[in-house]
Structure 1
Amino acid sequence: MSIRKRALSAGLTVTILLGGAVALAPAANAVGGHSKCTQDSNFNGKVAVVNVNLRKGPGTSYGSYGQLTKGGKVFVDCFRQTDVTKVPWLYIKVNSGAHKGLRGWVRNDLIYWPLAQ
């Protein structure tokens, strides 16, 4: 077999193998059910301070769905932390209060966790 045919065959094999690996990789939104999450979590918590914004995304540049009151119960699905020097953002489901059932983002330092169920 010529060198050109061997190179073509090797390249095709690598392409097929990598394509298979990509096809078997989990979707980005498989982590915690949200595409912006970088790590799974499954724990209960409470809002630690007065009037915490429940955000539409993991950052203060995202709009707010409204404010959560201190002591409100939440369930943390997952979190996002792209840099260890930055505060993580939690993707939560609100379990009590005016926004019960709504999902959104809250900074990690604004939630007490983990709490027993």
Structure 2
Amino acid sequence: MLRTTARLAASMALTLSMTAGLAAVTAPTASAASEPRACTLRFSDHAGKIIADAFNFRRGPGTSYSSRGYLYKSDKIRLKCARGHWYYGTLTARSKSGLAKNTSGWLHDKFLAQLA
């Protein structure tokens, strides 16, 4: 009986969201599945413009997380999501400091050009 009630409630919620013109999502996209759970804001994968030299590319969204290495203005990154002032991204080429292409990590927004 409990399963039937839960299924009925889920079905009604799905019908209501579709009726209201909202997109119903049943599973995360491939890119969303690869993002860390710490993300609170997800957005389309887009290029980030780094505006500082020699700052930490961290393992998590905060200074308490260890650094993977340093990033520089010339480094190329694709941003995936954010948590507060911290952005999660992936390097699209080897970094100036030697981090491998496809290395992912977190950087503070003060090291990024303002996002539009």
TM-score normalised per structure 1? 0.64
Q: Which has the higher contact order (CA 8 A, sep 6+)?
A: 1
User: What's the secondary structure of 1:35's corresponding residue?
Assistant: coil
In structure 2, the partner of 1:38 is 40
TM-score normalised per structure 2? 0.64
Matches of 2:34 and 2:87 in 1, distance apart? 10
Structure showing greater radius of gyration is: 1
- What letter is aligned with 1:102? T
Q: Which runs of 5+ in 1 are unaligned?
A: 1-8, 82-87
Q: Identity over aligned residues, as a percent?
A: 29
Asked if 1:89 is matched to 2:91, the reply is no
Of Structure 1 and Structure 2, the greater strand share is in 1
Given that 1:93 and 1:101 are in contact with CA atoms closer than 8 Å, whether structure 2 keeps it comes out as yes
Matches of 1:110 and 1:49 in 2, distance apart? 5
- What letter is aligned with 2:92? N
Q: Which runs of 5+ in 2 are unaligned?
A: 12-24
Residue 54 of structure 1, CA deviation: 0.5
Matches of 1:70 and 1:51 in 2, distance apart? 8
Which of 59, 63, 66 does residue 66 from structure 2 map onto? 63
Matches of 2:71 and 2:63 in 1, distance apart? 15
Residue 31 of structure 1, CA deviation: 7.0
Residue 40 of structure 1, CA deviation: 1.0
Matches of 1:34 and 1:20 in 2, distance apart? 26
Deviations 1:4-28 (A, max 9, x none): xxxxx9xx69x736x959xx8767x
